[in-house]
Amino acid sequence: MDLSQVPTNLPTEILNHNRQEIQRLTLIRNSMLQQGAHPAHLQPIEILINLNSVMIQLGEAPVSHSGLVAMLQTSLNIRTAWAALGVNYD
């Protein structure tokens, strides 16, 4: 079965934003690690990287109600993680 024509939860252009965010967060994490940051300070960055990875996996899945609900929850978790870092993510 060819799944290339099956609509997904999100278009590729939007998913690319999550991929760019992962790259940016990875650079920040690596810089912090090189400067000797405590693991507790790295944890929020790791959480954001993981949440963006989950968003990509959910977004690439075929359209489904449960997938969209999971994406909404993941999006809210991303906003909460940014808020914990003191970033206004609008």
Report residue 7 as tokens.
Answer: 């609509």
Report residue 63 as tokens.
Answer: 């359209």
Burial class from Cβ neighbours inside 10 Å (0-12, 13-18, 19+) for residue 83 reads: exposed
The pTM of the full predicted model, rounded to 2 decimals, is 0.87
pLDDT, residue 5, reads 65
Burial class from Cβ neighbours inside 10 Å (0-12, 13-18, 19+) for residue 48 reads: buried
* 11-26 pLDDT tens trace: 888 899 999 999 999 9
| pLDDT < 70 positions in the chain | 1-6, 89-90
